[in-house]
Amino acid sequence: MLWQLTERHEEDCCAVRGRQGKDRPYVYCESTSFQTDPRESRGDGDYHRQDSKLNRPEELPWDVVDRCLLPVLTAHAVAVILAFVLNTLRISQVSSWTLFFWFTSITLATLWFYHNLHVTAAGKAVLVTGADNRLGQIIVRQLDELGFTVFAGMRSPSCPEAGRLKEQCSGRLHVVQLDVTSEKDILAARDYVVGNLPQGSEGLWAVVNNEQWAAFGEVEWVPLPVFREATEVNLLGTIRVSQVFLPLVRKVKGRVVNVVSILGHMTAPLQAPYCTAKYAVEAFSDCLRAEMRRWGVDVVVVEPGDYTTGKLWYDDSKMLQQAKDMWEAMPDEARQDYGEHYFEYTVRRTLEPYTKGTDTDMAPVTRSLQDAVCRTFPLQRYTAVTRAEKIRALVLNHLPRSVHDVLYP
């Protein structure tokens, strides 16, 4: 099996050295049950040089585009209609392009002014769940540097990550034990937050639901407890934390920020447990946003791209152990139908881009999270994704579903 391979076996069987693309052709190696690209087997020098320099598509913050696109399109439509009316009634011979220029200039100037308004951090408190993961560590440090009082929720306050945060942050940081699947921890965390709010503060400015749990595998392989764990952490934990802390958020007309993923907006093979839970978090966020509007509370969704999601939540050793557990739990009939060759190749293909690929740039995601907390008028959704993912999301949102299904089968 894949998790039993030794270095000697990998040397004997032309192990996969590059990041295996999902659609790259492959052949079975005789001495093992995983596969490799035939270009690699024939020693194609150009292929190796290209593969060694291959970089993942860059993920970008699209907040300015998202904020300006619809107003600019509206300005264009208004300019065309108004020019037609004025010319038809012979009131003026102004062109639609002239009107479009002026409408767009005024619109963009107004948007830019509101886009750059920030709240004052002094005297405001923020709760961040999942502060012991990589993304949580970064956003906690950034918010602390901006002057917020940060409550960093961790499963274990005695973990090494907690010690590092205490060393790197100011005295405003509070490390709180918070397992989002534990009702006792959630209620205790609320009581602690209430008792340690900044002087003069009546509530909590923001709740950042950042706790994540990822799993992979085809649906038929994944045991039900894995789906249940993904649901309890990613969905039910987000819901319960939001329920408990909403009264504090409503008092100061703050905001709830849910870290989701682009996989909560579009599906990907082999990630059904994660996609299922994140789709539900998207729906929960939309419902909560509609309900909280009357209270002046913003509900913001931050969607990192697929690659960033994998680099953040996939761990090589944990995923290989999960693969072993899945294989042992599969019925004999399923094992025979899929076979070890296909199973092991799929495991390697799934993990390699995330565990062996180049490190991801966290700046677009952390900037989106910081904007979600700090902007006076935040967007409803921040998508720190690649160009290809953004185009696919636009197709999915604004064109008939049949068009998306043809372009992305």
Tens digit of each residue's pLDDT (9 = 90 or more) over 372-397? 999 999 999 998 888 888 888 888 88
Alpha carbon distances (Å) from 84 to 78, 97, 219, 326: 10, 11, 56, 65
Closest C-alpha among 330, 353, 357 to residue 342 = 330
Minimum mean pLDDT range among 54-63, 149-158, 175-184 = 54-63
Confidence tier at 67 by pLDDT (50, 70, 90): confident
Residue 176 and residue 153 in contact, taking contact as beta carbons nearer than 8 Å: yes
Q: Which residues contact 129 (CB under 8 A, 6 or more apart)?
A: 136, 153, 178, 180, 207, 208, 209, 210, 211, 237, 241
The mean pLDDT of 280-307, rounded to a whole number, is 94
Confidence tier at 13 by pLDDT (50, 70, 90): very low
Q: Which residues contact 287 (CB under 8 A, 6 or more apart)?
A: none
Interatomic CA distance for residues 318 and 324, integer angstroms: 10
Total count of residues recorded for the chain = 409
Strands (E) in 174-235, as ranges, are 174-177, 206-209
Q: Exposure of 218 by Cβ count < 10 A (0-12 exposed, 13-18 middle, 19+ buried)? A: middle
Residues annotated as catalytic (active site), given as ranges? 274
Q: Which residues contact 30 (CB under 8 A, 6 or more apart)?
A: 13
**Is the predicted pLDDT of residue 183 greater than 80, yes or no?**
yes
Q: If you search the block for the tokens 């039993």, which residue do you land on?
A: 4
Residue 78 and residue 96 in contact, taking contact as beta carbons nearer than 8 Å: no
Specify the DSSP class assigned to residue 133.
S
Q: Flag whether the pTM goes above 0.75.
A: yes
pLDDT > 90 fraction of the chain, expressed in percent and rounded: 48
Q: If you search the block for the tokens 């557990």, which residue do you land on?
A: 325
Specify the DSSP class assigned to residue 31.
S
**Is the predicted pLDDT of residue 236 greater than 90, yes or no?**
yes
Residue 152 and residue 136 in contact, taking contact as beta carbons nearer than 8 Å: yes
Cite the DSSP H helix spans in 196-331. Answer: 224-230, 237-251, 272-292, 306-313, 316-329
- What separation, in Å, do the N-terminal and C-terminal C-alpha atoms of the chain show? 31
Q: If you search the block for the tokens 């152990």, which residue do you land on?
A: 321
